[in-house]
Amino acid sequence: MTKNRFGRWVAPACLLAVSASASVGLTRGDDGLDLGRGLPAAYSLGASYLLSKGLERLHTGDVKTDPVVPDRVRAPERNQAAFQRAIAPILVTHGMADSIVSSVSRPRFLEDVKADDSDMTVVRIEGGDHRSNMGAAKAKISAWQEACRDSGTPPPAEVRIGYLKLANAQLVAKAHGLHEKAMRVPIKWIGFETGGQVNAAIAAGQIDFGAMGGPPASVGVTQGLGYRGVLLLNMLQGVEGLAVRQAIATPADLAGKRIATPFGSTSHYLLMVLLKQAGLSPDSVTLRDMTPDQAVSAWSAGQIDAAYVWEPALGRMVAQGGRILVDNAEMARRGYPMWDISVVRDAFARAHPDLVASYVRSECAAIDTWRRDPEATAAAVAGELSLSPAEARRMIQGTGMVPCSQQIDRAYLGDTSTPGALSRSIYDMAAFLRDNGRTHGLASHADYEALIDTRHLVALNASRR
């Protein structure tokens, strides 16, 4: 392995199934610490966590490695120096069935790591007894290190993150500088109105990470744009819908009307589904390709009769005399849930797997903030979208946020072995868009399922247990 310019050990792709970091320290039975190949002693950092919480026993019974703890008391400068070197270690711990490891210190330590938002990654080795657990772990990690020793890549000059100008946790990550703090490279944020614009930027090599809904993501696969979805950003519920003039009472009344929507977007896809359910063909209405902001201007000028768009444009048309005929929550009840994902270019992911893992970790932290701190979330959304706090809270209520711990469930993205329901739906979206003349051709079914890559989510969730 190689060090990047910050002197921090990083994990190449072959280690990401376990962790986003690769510095490992292990205890060596009765002889204290085994630093092995000059790596920092992750165990000592773990001990310092426990000490800072007033807990001085790592083991139960008469185990000679317990003097590791008072050693850290007598030499606190060693811990301080380790933290100043920005070490991000893997800490290998014994399995939950190991009776020698303290039943008090183990969960306490794990709670402290989570509460302190540490870069430390905990890998728990299950099975076997106390000594064989650690011996097996050491052998396995040594093999990983040998396999990955020469695969490190210098960090990029900057990381370019494309985001959608709508209410989701990415606005929290942006407002709180989460990626800047975690990646420690310059971050360039680039805002977009539609997923189609994000696809164009990826095709032009202008961004490294992007955000888009399922339909534009399916278009990206059809066109072979070369990216992978790594995170579920949000479920689109009341935050997106069809605004209509008051005279339009049912979907059938849309016949002959002028309807705006961003072509290739989640809104466009659901509008096509709605027309089909109402027995209307696309030719029975006048469709206009407009961004949400363009749709608001056209609405104000009386140039359109309806628009399927998302907030804040949706609310602005309602404020100007419109009403919502149907929203995404209703379309989900009809069997068409809609969502946004975060994607990363394949070339960037191959070169910088550690930064992809960091990105997922920070976005998940933003999702946690969204769910537990509504005031901070509303402030971030209001600030980015130029809304009042009340408007921001309304938009937040219309956005479903799935914790990262649940995103790998079969109801959502699935795990590395079994695609989830959302992953499987991408092919259906692509086929629908092709059959309705919005795209040409179709990739293989496997190509669409392969769009979603949950290995970073799986590794993150394993480290949080």
Distance separating alpha carbons of residues 359 and 179, to the nearest angstrom: 7
pTM of the predicted protein model:
0.67
Query: Which is nearest to 298 in space by CA: 259, 330, 271, 336?
Result: 259
Residuewise pLDDT in 10s, the chain (465 residues): 222 222 222 333 333 333 333 333 333 333 333 333 322 333 333 444 444 444 444 444 443 333 333 333 333 444 333 333 323 334 445 555 555 555 555 555 555 545 544 444 444 555 555 555 555 555 554 544 454 444 456 778 899 999 999 999 999 999 999 999 988 889 999 999 999 999 999 999 999 999 999 999 999 999 999 999 999 999 999 999 999 999 999 999 999 999 999 998 899 999 999 999 999 999 999 999 999 999 999 999 999 999 999 999 999 999 999 999 999 999 999 989 999 999 999 999 988 888 999 999 999 999 999 999 999 999 999 999 999 999 999 999 999 999 999 999 999 999 988 899 999 899 999 998 898 888 888 999 999 989 999 999 998 888 776
- What are the residue ranges spanned by the domains of the chain? 13-148, 155-465
CATH fold for the domain made of 155-465: D-Maltodextrin-Binding Protein; domain 2 (3.40.190)
Instruction: Say if residue 12 is preceded by a cis peptide, omega within 30 of 0.
Output: no
Q: Give the 3-state DSSP-derived string for 254-316, with helices as H, strands as E and coil as C.
A: HCCCEEEECCCCHHHHHHHHHHHHCCCCHHHCEEEECCHHHHHHHHHCCCCCEEEEECCHHHH
Token pair of 464, please? Answer: 């949080």
Block residue for tokens 């097996």: 136
Q: Give residue 228's Cα distance to chain centre.
A: 12
Task: Determine contact, residues 29/180, Cβ cutoff 8 Å.
Answer: no
Query: Which is nearest to 212 in space by CA: 201, 198, 225, 200?
Result: 198
pLDDT value for 46 = 41
pLDDT value for 217 = 96
